[in-house]
Amino acid sequence: MTSSTVADEIVAILQAVGVDTCFGVPGGQTVPFYGAARARGFRHVLVHDERNGACAADAYARVSGKVGLCDATVGPGATNLISGLAEAYASAIPVLALVADIKTTREHLRHRGVSSQALEQTELLRPVTKWVGRVHAPAMLADMMDHAFRVAVSGRPGPVALEVPEDVMAAPVEAFDLSRFGPGTAAWPRHRPAAPAGLVEQAAALIAAAERPAVLAGGGAMASGAFAEVARLADEFGLPVATSINGKGIIDERHALAAGVVGVFGDVAASQTLQQADVVLVLGSKFAQFNSFLWRLPSRDQTLIHVDIDGEELGRATPAALSIVADVREAARQIADALARARVKASWARSGPLPAQPGTAGDDPAVAPEAVVAAIGALVDDDAILVTDASLASGWTASRYRVRKAGRGFLAPRGLAGIGWAGGAAIGAALGAKPGAHVVAVAGDGAAAYWLGEIETAVRLKLPITFVMLNNAGFGWVIQGERSLGISPESSFLPMDFAGVGKALGAGASRAASINEVQAGLKAALDHPGPYVLDVLSSELSSPSVDYALLVPEAVSKLGAYGMG
């Protein structure tokens, strides 16, 4: 057998499992991995910040159905990964972070960086991963890589970190049998446990006896790929389908029974539909604070059938009448089969006056963000992927954009909900998607400042990404809260010319101060060969946030003036 290095064998394993892209920032300790990747023709994407690399790996995993991969050097590189891995952890997305470490002979010099860049990074990585492993010796590599993938894609998916000390990374190792590594190693979910037959029959009986049954699909339904099963629940049995933000796209949103996104950042009609249901089949939702109006919708008066791969989520935030631990796609298929045997056919629709969807005042001179999102929806094709950043951008896109084909056509950072996600995620989505898919990234100017350098990355790779900046020269959501509380000065910035920044970084670019200019800019972006930055001078006054009092006027708002609980 020929001798190679640990770095060589890491790349060989990655190629064997079909993970074809890594996102990262080099350091002295990771140079052997970079050299092995380039020598073997493995695609490594050089990014400007490790956080953006982790966000890219997250979105790559969501779109490709394979584990996302990022790397970082020891110490400062590892610390920069934390926010990106934390989002993947909270959103249950499988990411493998290859993290360099100091030489094994310098362990006694780790504390306070006596050995260059060193710190106790293992403990730092633990809270944002499912597992942290360490390759202490070259002979451990195959077992550690195998287990890292197993943990990432089994049960509730999530990120893992594998530390490789500098001397181990460059050490020789005998080439080993790669037969245990194949495409199934990095595909997710790895296992699909079925629901117990008795619980399936109970679920079907509850739905059959209901007057107004509905489905609430979350990120777990997306992770499971339960697209056909959810469509069947709507088509064959007449169940309206509402989603969380991370569940958006589980069904074609043009479907007559696609209710939309629920919650503070959702569609008022969707929340009202869910509110009027008497039995709710919950498929893979953890009832996050914003989706549930501080755990008030669904209410405790409704009958919930809660299905999740993770038994810890069942009953944790909202009580369920029936809890089922199972793969969502498999359980949805089983429940649909039971409904067919029972000849169930629901026929109901939301009733009563519909409160107005929050938006921009008609006399606001700035560009309305909801009009920007509507223009995007009108111009992109069915295969487009919309990537949104956190904060108000999530609200405008979740409530106003319509995914026109079931699948990962909409990506949002709603696990941890930290701003600064969309730039890296757009790059990961573009590289994980099928050829020809156009990616549109929507972000506020405050969020975009975290990842402006990655516009150069997109230009270098000639990626079909349109970056739409909702530019109101400040942290818009925070400013609205400050104004409601009489706080000054506000959290605002000097005006920035994002179109100028885009041009300086090599992208096509334009600025829009009216909706007509937005439409013209979007048409130019979609025709442009490569990245394009559309800088939209948007309103700082408007908010997409839905107050629970819109649904229940007598309710006392617990979310505060701008949606915070």
Higher pLDDT, 103 or 474: 474
Q: What is residue 442's three-state secondary structure?
A: strand
Listed in order, the ranges of the chain carrying CATH 3.40.50.1220 are 197-341
Angstrom distance (rounded) from CA 132 to CA 164: 11
Angstrom distance (rounded) from CA 78 to CA 73: 6
pLDDT, tens digit, for every residue of 297-334? 999 999 999 999 999 999 999 999 999 999 999 999 99
Higher pLDDT, 343 or 556: 343
Residues 6+ apart with CB under 8 A from 155: 191, 309, 310
Q: Class for domain 197-341, per CATH?
A: alpha beta
Q: What is 272-290 written as a DSSP string?
A: HHHHH-SEEEEES----TT
Q: What is residue 295's three-state secondary structure?
A: coil
pLDDT, tens digit, for every residue of 199-239? 999 999 999 999 999 999 999 999 999 999 999 999 999 99
Angstrom distance (rounded) from CA 403 to CA 390: 18
Find out whether the peptide bond into 165 is cis, omega within 30 degrees of 0. Answer: no
Q: Report in angstroms the alpha-carbon separations of 385 from 59, 445, 466.
A: 11, 20, 10
CA angle (155 as vertex; 153, 160 as ends), nearest 5? 45
Cβ proximity of 271 and 263 under 8 Å? yes
Residues 6+ apart with CB under 8 A from 396: 369, 370, 372, 373, 388, 442, 470, 544
Label residue 103 by pLDDT band (50, 70, 90).
confident
Share of the chain above pLDDT 70, in %: 98
CA angle (191 as vertex; 187, 194 as ends), nearest 5? 140
Label residue 94 by pLDDT band (50, 70, 90).
very high
Q: In the prediction, which pLDDT does 117 show? A: 83
Q: Report the CATH superfamily, name and number, of domain 369-537.
A: Thiamin diphosphate (ThDP)-binding fold, Pyr/PP domains (3.40.50.970)
Q: Report, as an integer, the average pLDDT of 488-501.
A: 96
Q: In the prediction, which pLDDT does 556 show? A: 62
Q: In the prediction, which pLDDT does 558 show? A: 56
Query: What phi and psi, each to the nearest 5 degrees, are found at residue 191?
Result: -120, 145
Cβ proximity of 533 and 511 under 8 Å? no
- Asked whether the predicted pLDDT for residue 533 surpasses 50, the reply is yes
Q: In the prediction, which pLDDT does 560 show? A: 53
Q: Report, as an integer, the average pLDDT of 385-400.
A: 98
- Asked whether the predicted pLDDT for residue 18 surpasses 60, the reply is yes
CA angle (159 as vertex; 154, 163 as ends), nearest 5? 115
Angstrom distance (rounded) from CA 147 to CA 133: 9
Angstrom distance (rounded) from CA 562 to CA 546: 9
Residues 6+ apart with CB under 8 A from 179: none
In this structure, what token pair is assigned to residue 364?
């606001």
Mean of the per-residue pLDDT values of the chain: 95
Angstrom distance (rounded) from CA 551 to CA 117: 53
Residue where the block lists tokens 């790996």: 57
Q: Report the CATH superfamily, name and number, of domain 3-186.
A: Thiamin diphosphate (ThDP)-binding fold, Pyr/PP domains (3.40.50.970)
pLDDT, tens digit, for every residue of 154-199? 999 999 999 999 999 999 998 788 999 999 999 999 999 999 999 9
Q: How distant is the alpha carbon of residue 491 from its chain centre? A: 27
Label residue 2 by pLDDT band (50, 70, 90).
low
Residues in the chain: 565
Q: Report, as an integer, the average pLDDT of 122-133.
A: 97
Q: In the prediction, which pLDDT does 422 show? A: 98
Listed in order, the ranges of the chain carrying CATH 3.40.50.970 are 3-186, 369-537
This prediction has a pTM of 0.96
Q: What is 234-267 written as a DSSP string?
A: HHTT---EEE-STTTTSS-TTSTTEEEE-STTS-
Label residue 383 by pLDDT band (50, 70, 90).
very high
3-state SS track over 131-195: EEEECCCHHHHHHHHHHHHHHHHCCCCCCEEEEEEHHHHCCEEECCCCCCCCHHHHECCCCCCCC
Which residues share a beta bridge with 303?
Answer: 279
pLDDT, tens digit, for every residue of 412-423? 999 999 999 999
Amino acid letter at 247? G
Angstrom distance (rounded) from CA 431 to CA 158: 20
CA angle (180 as vertex; 177, 184 as ends), nearest 5? 145
Q: Report, as an integer, the average pLDDT of 344-369.
A: 95
Q: In the prediction, which pLDDT does 1 show? A: 43
Q: In the prediction, which pLDDT does 562 show? A: 45
Q: In the prediction, which pLDDT does 561 show? A: 43
